[in-house]
Chain A
């Protein structure tokens, strides 16, 4: 199927690429279906794009590239909501707040997006340990560690 996207124009996607956020994403509870789209293979960023609402496209990044020590534990409730049985099921991204100039951008380590790559269920979870992993983690920290 074809969808309209925020950054990439019209894009052809497969039904089985769709990621389902049962509760939506905080702030957007009514949009449940998203896809992950590449912005270019050299960029460590992807777009989490709503299937139905083209303006809803979040820039996301792999948090472990920026902060290799990043770690968190899912609660039993979250695991069962997402049908997660083993670590291999999980893919984690964080939302990037892109600012101009780009060096001032931040990423939200407090509320990572957890995707079960097998069931395609996903959720933006809120971590309890919010002093270590802030809402606004400077992206500058990734300089030198990528490419």
Chain B
């Protein structure tokens, strides 16, 4: 991992077209401004982790419960 020190207002480039700028520093909260092409997805890493977790939790359904839903299929 590359570690760089940056001050407020400074930025780094990732490749030719992704810029990450330090917009503000307030205590332990750092605000980043990210400029990237539309084809690059930018999201907090917790988002991907939360989706992995959600997928795992979605598997917690028993075959017998789905049977019950099929039988009580009046509202759905």
**Chain A residues in the interface with B (C-beta under 8 A):** 6-7, 25-28, 39-40, 42-44, 55-59, 75-77, 95-98, 100, 102, 108, 110-111, 124, 126, 128, 130, 135-136, 142-143, 146-147
Chain B positions within 8 Å of A, measured between CB atoms, are 38-43, 47-48, 50-61, 63, 65-66, 69-70, 73-76
Nearest-CB distance from B41 to chain A (Å)?
6
Contact partners of A130 in chain B: CB under 8 A: 43, 47
Q: Indicate if the CB atoms of B53 and A40 lie closer than 8 Å.
A: no
- By a CB distance below 8 angstroms, the chain B residues around A124 are 51, 55
Selected from B42, B54, B73, B75, the residue in CB contact (under 8 A) with A95 is B54
- Structural contact, B50 and A135, CB atoms closer than 8 A: yes
Q: Is the CB of A100 within 8 A of B52?
A: no
B41 pairs with A126, CB closer than 8 A: yes
